[in-house]
Amino acid sequence: MNDMTLEKAATVEFRGLRREFGPTVALDGLDLDVRPGELVALLGPSGCGKTTALRMLAGFEHPDSGEVLVDGQDVTEVPAHRRDAGMVFQSYSLFPHLSAVDNVAFGLRMRKVRTAERRARAAELLDLVGLGDKGERFPHQLSGGQQQRVAVARALINHPKVLLLDEPLGALDLKLRRQMQLELKRIQTEVGITFVHVTHDQEEAMTMADTVAVMNGGRVEQLGSPSDLYENPRTTFVANFLGTSNLIEAEVDTRSGDGIVLKAGGGKLLLPEARCSAPTTTGGKVLVGVRPEKISLTHADAAGDIPAGRNRITGKIAATSFIGVSTQYVVDSAVCPEFEVYVQNIDRDAKLAPGAEVVLHWNPAHTFGLHADQSLLAGTTGSAGVGTVDDEAAV
């Protein structure tokens, strides 16, 4: 596969893409830059416009306004078959009448490459996806995961500048999906071209992508590396859609050094200024967030043992659930009902049972601050509707 390394990796740029389907706004001025050779995931709930954006890059949809650039060239008016973009679909899209090797060779057949040569190159690509011995099988004789591997090989045969993946693992079961995530990542590293991956599964996006673009309401809500997005969400939507966040409404009190002291329900919390995306004028409102796994839980009787300088909140355990690696606690407190805390099961404290008075405490460096003028529930399962993918495809 030495002939298909970095030389062809291309940039992808979306410039102010807008698309309406009747009364629904699918894309609302989408801007996004993808660097060459990068695996970028478009992540969002169904209806956020991620599939529409991908289909515009493939040439199957036309924007009402805005443009798509590949390798710096405007391809908005270029028909799909001249775009140099391979695509892998969610539903198994192999041609049922062709064997695996002929499916992979299809792109070369369209380019009038001789039969012997195209079968040889198709066999090479089948090797790349680990199906070298299944070339003569027909799609109905292959499992779902194998079919998707063939689909990836087929999409790569013409040396595309960019590979588009539209929920490619959506139809696979969980275990196979995990395996295929790593497999796709390996293939991407090997061929080195730009991958644009659409998914509604945040874990999949975080596992595979170099860069994740969290989409909401037809635009990119936040762009960054998986760890950056997780640690420093800038909106409640990102904070809630990527993992779980505890959000507290607080008021700016004073400053101390490069931190901000906040008042929340009688107590005080410290927030590093660099981790606050909201204005911090004294008396202003801020949403304070902290991830459940950053929090330690101590029984109220042992509150004296907590080191100084940590953010603390008191509350009462409402529920616990044991899930093997960790125990999840739901704590009712004055500042935030249903505070979620995940504690690793290293030394389990039997006193931490429902009804127990507890102190929640965490390192202030793990606190993030968000604008107070947004919904606390944005991006949670109920509100944004992390529903089926089919809804979006049907738009």
Residue of 18, 67, 106, 351 that binds other proteins (CB under 8 A): 106
Q: Does 97 bind other proteins (CB under 8 A)?
A: yes
Beta bridge partners of 212: 41, 224
Q: CB neighbours (10 Å) of residue 353?
A: 11
**Near other proteins by CB under 8 A: residue from 53, 58, 278, 384:** 58
Q: Least CB distance from residue 98 to other proteins, whole Å?
A: 8
Per-residue tokens: 371 = 């604008």
Interactions with other proteins, residue window 134-153 (CB under 8 A): 151
120 binds other proteins (CB under 8 A): no
- Listed ranges 15-23, 83-91, 220-228, 371-379: which one lies at the site for other proteins (CB under 8 A): 83-91
Q: Which is nearer to other proteins, 124 or 249 (CB)?
A: 124
Instruction: Give the shortest CB-160-to-other proteins separation in angstroms.
Output: 8
Binding range to other proteins, per CB under 8 A, among 109-117, 188-196, 285-293, 368-376:
109-117
Q: Which of 207, 66, 205 is nearest to 215 (CA)?
A: 205
In the set 17, 41, 50, 89, which binds other proteins (CB under 8 A)?
89
CA distance readout (Å), 116 to 106, 110, 140, 156, 162: 13, 14, 24, 18, 26
Residue 93 engages other proteins in binding (rule: CB under 8 A): yes
Q: How many residues does the chain have?
A: 395
Assess 110 for contact with other proteins (CB under 8 A). yes
Number of residues that bind other proteins (CB under 8 A): 31
Q: How far is the CB of 82 from other proteins (least distance, A)?
A: 8
Of the two residues 60 and 342, which places its CB atom closer to other proteins in the complex?
60
> Which pair of tokens denotes residue 314?
């008191």
Residue ranges of the alpha helices (H) in 216-367?
Answer: 226-231, 236-241
Q: Decide if residue 21 touches other proteins (CB under 8 A).
A: no
Distance CA 27, CA 51 (A): 10
Phi/psi-derived region of residue 218, left when phi > 0, alpha when psi is between -120 and 50, beta in every other case? left
Q: How far is the C-alpha of 241 from the C-alpha of 230, rounded, in Å?
A: 10
- φ, ψ at 332 (rounded to 5°): -90, 125
The answer to the question of residue 157 lying near other proteins (CB under 8 A) is yes
